[in-house]
């Protein structure tokens, strides 16, 4: 195993979930999440910010391709800078999250993202917007997004009961799916009315609204656990998270799956937009509609995820749906012919990849939250951010380079092969014997 072991005698013992549930409001355990007021506020916050995040996700690469004439290497660099901060944040701030209440970390991450993104329309208005600024914005927003995600994953199990984790993650994934449907369409309208940089201003506003919704949550988190006699620094924090993962037969393959998926997924983040616009011949409206179909498929996947997980268990769901999503990706490099024919192939890829991929994501998140000690969520999350961050950067840079050398289509074939190999690996891990240790709660 690549993770070096460390002494375990001074690590805080696992906190039983029942102890955390005692600190929760009674409705967090007994009632439907639809009647869980604080979860609904969290859900609202993520709904708002995810819609705006889709505008930036599409807007930044669209701006550099269409407005600044970016090359494949520049698009790859932009994608790498969006992913790269996960390395630094994962290495340095996992322990920071564990030693603080998570909700304020999320609020300040939202405020920071809003401020940085607001600089783009201001620079565009002053006619001084450059690739360098877009690179800096991509890196900063990427860093704050990773910090938010680490805190968010750690915060959710303190807000809802273990029995509700699958249901909660499914509802949050529904938000992502709705944003995937509405975000590209909204972005297309905003781009037509304004420009790509000015359209990103709406994302900045969405993060402000998200911060306000998070600030309205009334639930008081359990106080952070202090580990007496332990010297807290970047190295010890990362070793603690690494040791926790390497000592668990299920967390280890989950980390490997995340890392390899990020590696080959980086190819898509570097090349998909360029492939669809320049090679497949789609226009902005066709591309936005294609991505929106994927959002609709993700919505279906999120709604079916609890039933699928009850049927197959968390581990087997990860393996089976991961393989199905991998097969769906094959339709991306297969896209050819007239633009409407290529669009049809890309739509099939969106339907299969986004529906099954969403179920995979929900199962992975729920299983990791169930297996990880509450006091170590941030440090484990830091490792899960760091290694996929490294491989994601390698994938984005490598995908951009291979796209320039071999062509975007061949580079995407390599990515598809890698993602399928990742799915096959899952079938030979302890995941296949892993069932859910709690039943998802029905509303």
Please give the DSSP secondary-structure letter assigned to residue 61. Answer: H
pLDDT attached to residue 7: 33
pLDDT attached to residue 421: 93
Over residues 334-351, the pLDDT tens digits come to 988 888 888 899 999 999
Over residues 299-332, the pLDDT tens digits come to 888 888 888 988 888 889 999 999 999 999 999 8
CA distance 110 to 168: 21
Contact 416, 272 (CB under 8 A): no
Q: Of 57, 110, 125, which Cα lies nearest the Cα of 295?
A: 57
Average pLDDT over residues 101-126: 88
pLDDT attached to residue 65: 66
pLDDT attached to residue 183: 62
pLDDT attached to residue 25: 44
pLDDT beyond 50 at 10: no
Q: Provide the angle, in degrees to the nearest 10, between the axes of the packed helices 102-125 and 131-159.
A: 160
Asked if residue 438 belongs to a domain, the reply is no
pLDDT attached to residue 320: 93
Asked if residue 102 belongs to a domain, the reply is yes
pLDDT attached to residue 319: 92
The tally of domains found in the chain comes to 1
Asked if residue 192 belongs to a domain, the reply is yes
Asked if residue 17 belongs to a domain, the reply is no
Confidence (pTM): 0.69
Asked if residue 442 belongs to a domain, the reply is no
pLDDT beyond 80 at 197: no
What is the extent of the structural domain holding 326? 33-433
Asked if residue 28 belongs to a domain, the reply is no
- Written as one string, the DSSP assignment of 295-352 is HHHHHHHHHHHHHHHHHH-HHHHHHHHHHHHHHHHTTTTT--SSHHHHHHHHHHHHHH
Contact 396, 76 (CB under 8 A): yes
Contact 168, 438 (CB under 8 A): no
Average pLDDT over residues 55-71: 67
Which of residues 291 and 252 earns the better pLDDT score? 252
Asked if residue 10 belongs to a domain, the reply is no
Q: What is the CATH number of the domain that holds 314?
A: 1.20.1250.20
CA distance 378 to 149: 10
Average pLDDT over residues 181-186: 63
Residue 26 pLDDT grade (very low, low, confident, very high; cuts 50, 70, 90): very low
Average pLDDT over residues 244-271: 88
In the chain the first and final C-alpha atoms are separated, in Å, by 42
pLDDT attached to residue 297: 87
pLDDT attached to residue 349: 92
Q: Which long-range contacts (CB under 8 A, 24 or more apart) does 343-346 make?
A: 343/280, 343/282, 343/286, 343/289, 343/290, 346/276, 346/280, 346/282, 346/290
Asked if residue 351 belongs to a domain, the reply is yes
């Amino acid at each position: 195993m690549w993770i070096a072991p460390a002494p375990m005698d001074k690590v805080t013992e696992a906190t039983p979930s029942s102890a955390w549930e005692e600190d929760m409001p009674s409705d967090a355990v007994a009632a439907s999440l639809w009647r869980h007021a604080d979860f609904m506020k969290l859900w609202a916050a993520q709904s708002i910010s995810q819609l705006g995040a889709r505008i930036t996700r599409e807007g930044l690469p669209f701006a550099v391709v269409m407005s600044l004439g970016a090359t494949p290497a520049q698009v790859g660099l932009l994608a790498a800078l969006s992913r790269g901060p996960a390395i630094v944040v994962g290495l340095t701030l996992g322990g920071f999250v564990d030693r603080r209440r998570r909700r304020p970390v999320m609020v300040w991450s939202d405020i920071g993202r809003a401020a940085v993104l607001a600089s783009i329309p201001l620079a565009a208005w002053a006619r001084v917007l450059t690739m360098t600024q877009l690179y800096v914005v991509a890196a900063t927003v990427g860093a704050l997004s990773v910090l938010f995600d680490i805190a968010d994953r750690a915060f959710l199990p303190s807000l809802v009961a273990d029995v509700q984790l699958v249901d909660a993650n499914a509802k949050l994934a529904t938000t992502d799916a709705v944003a995937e449907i509405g975000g590209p369409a909204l972005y297309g309208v905003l781009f037509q009315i304004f420009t790509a940089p000015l359209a990103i201003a709406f994302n900045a506003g969405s993060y402000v609204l998200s911060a306000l919704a998070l600030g309205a949550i009334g639930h008081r988190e359990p106080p952070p656990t202090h580990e007496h006699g332990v010297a807290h620094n970047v190295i010890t924090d990362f070793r603690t998270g690494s040791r926790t993962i390497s000592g668990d037969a299920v967390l280890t393959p989950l980390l490997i799956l995340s890392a390899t998926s990020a590696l080959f997924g980086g190819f898509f983040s570097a090349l998909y937009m360029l492939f669809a616009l320049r090679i497949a011949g789609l226009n902005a409206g066709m591309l936005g509609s294609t991505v929106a179909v994927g959002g609709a498929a993700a919505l279906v996947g999120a709604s079916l995820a609890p039933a699928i997980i009850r049927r197959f268990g968390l581990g087997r769901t990860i393996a089976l749906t991961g393989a199905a999503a991998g097969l769906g990706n094959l339709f991306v490099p297969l896209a050819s012919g007239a633009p409407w024919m290529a669009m049809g192939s890309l739509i099939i890829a969106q339907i299969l990849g986004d529906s099954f991929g969403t179920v995979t994501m929900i199962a992975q998140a729920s299983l990791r939250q169930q297996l990880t000690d509450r006091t170590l969520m941030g440090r484990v999350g830091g490792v899960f951010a760091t290694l996929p961050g490294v491989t994601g950067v390698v994938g984005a840079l490598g995908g951009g380079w291979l796209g320039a050398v071999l062509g975007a289509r061949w580079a995407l074939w390599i990515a598809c092969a890698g993602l399928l190999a990742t799915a096959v690996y899952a079938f030979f891990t302890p995941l296949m014997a892993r069932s859910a240790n709690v039943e998802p709660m029905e509303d």
